[in-house]
Structure 1
Amino acid sequence: MDADLARWLVSADAVEALAEAAGQPDPGSMAAATALRRSWTPGQAAAVLTQADLRRRAVVKFGEAAGRLFFTRDALEQATRSDVARWRAERLRDAGATRVVDIGCGIGADALAFAAGGLEVVAVEFDPATAVLAAANLGGDGHVVCGDAVELAGDLLAGGAAVFADPARRTSSGRTWRVADLAPPWDFVTGLLTGRVGCIKAAPGLPSNAIPDGVATTWVSHRGDLVEASLWSGAWSPGSRTAVLLPSGDELDAGGRGAPPVGPIGRYLYEPDSAVIRSGAIATLADVLAARCPQAGIAYLSCDGFRATPFATAFEVQQELPFDERVLRRWVQEHGVGALEIKVRGIDVDPAVLRRRLKPAGQGSATLLLTPTAAGARALVVRRVGSSPG
């Protein structure tokens, strides 16, 4: 989509077309395209049908607000979920920010949260069409500048503004996770953190060697999904590593601890949230739970007494079996298990393949958790427990 088509899309002239597109059962169908082309050009019809499709997909990130926002496919994929954007705005505000320059704003998801949090927002977007959509999304709540952030950042950040950057993670060949492929360049955006309050959004798999010395890093889990790593200056202790759970806001700091202790499987086993694992806070969680790992380097924790925690899924160990396919197949058959969940860490096995080989059939259900231990590989029959084991 070019900038001229984007300007039409966000104008009053497109309101009727957007409404007709939203009423189509399948915006991607030939029938929908044919219907819209009776009144609008092929380009306009395609644009509004794309919006209808993207707005439906955007509900998971934006809730009911998705129906009034404008998107591109790439920008929606990279856009921050609303709970995460709201949390980030609160952290920047609490760190003393009053004005934020949003570098690489996309369709303006974070900029909207900054504005809603009472911050003055200037958003920078390189792509002209996306900049038009971002401006429409922000309305009067912020200012969008279209241009090269590398050239514009110095002037825009003058006067003590905080910075937020979300480098584009796409190349001509598709989505990229390579730091070297990000735009604006990674060294440039991380350099913007020096001497000011700021945050840089990154992929959750950000390699540790890409994190500058003295920069705080959070790994954010939203409703169980690990959604991002974010680098901070001014809002967290320099060099800290923290797991953050949203929307609750629970935090667990890695605290420079080493590896958790290793010991036998106890009555309860915990599967830490991915944010805990990525942040290196598993030893902190082990301390909280008085727990140990079944084997060094395995991200399960086990203990004899139950303690509730938001940072891990808890299971009660009902039976411990050797990891032997014949033993497991016999157990599944004897217990009439038809619905079988298999979770695995540290053992080279495909759960889907193993499930087929165990031939579950029956009315029962079970969860098997496979893990190496000091005594060898084990299959644990477990059941989930909530805030209490009862």
Structure 2
Amino acid sequence: MCAPVIVLLQSSVSVVGVPANLLAAPLVAPATLGGIAVVLLAPLSLPLGVAIAWVAGLPAWGIGAVAHLAARVPWGSLPWPAGPPGALLLAALVLLALLTGPRLVLRGRRHPVVVLACALLVSAAVWPLPQPGWPPPGWVLVVCDVGQGDAAVLRTGPDRALVVDAGPDEAGVARCLDDLGVRRVEAVVLTHLHADHVTGLPTLLDGRGVGEVLTTSVREEDAGAAEQPIVGPLVVRTTAAAGVPLTEVRAGDRLAWGPVQATVLAPARTIRTGSLQNNGSVVLDVRVAGVRLLLLGDAEQEAQRETRRALARLGDPTPVLAMKVAHHGSSNHDPALLRQVRATYGLISVGSDNDYGHPAPRLLGSLRDSGTLAVRTDRGGDLAVVVRDGRGSVVSRR
């Protein structure tokens, strides 16, 4: 009875709601009665009210524990069409199940083999096949699942790598490198100086033998950027304390670390419109293992137009296998760049349930129009670009 109404509120169907409520139901009465007792007795005797509150708090804690347990059940909540159409559809399906359910149960008892076969087919359809270990053989680039931030790893040797951005915290990038078996970081490229790309730098400099840190030449603070301040002073202090050289890069610079070669496409100049830091991102055109990759940092549409012109000047016809999509899939992008690049895969580093609406539907539409398959860390976890026998593909950890 409640399910169609709930669909109007949150566009999803809970498959664990009924058992969760059955588990919590015995705890509701003592929690409610205890709460009423606290309200009545606390004005007369505060110590007595506090004691009863502790007793009433136990079943309330149990209700919360049931809710948290149910929320962690895989596939516990399924997406559903929003609004009145979704509510009417669910109501119709519930009525259909109530009307046909007894007959189906009776037939199922008579033909258990058919029921078992249907259960196996459904399980095979919804249960993902396990990946044969991580990282996948032949990986050359991994976009780490660090939430709403960026951290990418380019393989330069059996246990060596180049890291592009360090994520919004130290734990995420450290976990990603440990899982990849990276013991030495040959260099760190900080595309720009926003905290969601820089905060994990200290853990990279601690015991991983970082050779150098390269970053953007744009150091200005965005006007009114209290929400996303630059952390340039932190980078300077951290690298100086670790004794690691800090170098600025500009458009036209050519960089190499073992098998990884990169051309810096941006920043060529400071763009005064939009976000100074985002538009000052280091954009890399990378070659590794015979494939071409494009890493856009957080470049907004103004800097993406500059990148489009830089690519045109290069005149290189080599197709782009994978592109690290700019700014977590922000709508502030240049569709003409995506059409020009026509990457096979668009890798989006984005946090689930972020407050920005990333990735934006407009950006996802531009990727589709360009023939680029969008792959997201919020859904797939770590994303690996794999090259085997000269052919490239993308493998998601989940």
The TM-score with structure 1 as length reference comes to 0.25
Q: Which has the higher strand share?
A: 1
The TM-score with structure 2 as length reference comes to 0.24
Point out the structure with max Rg over C-alpha: 2
Indicate the structure whose relative CO is greater, using CA pairs within 8 Å and at least 6 residues apart: 2
Q: Which has the higher helix share?
A: 2
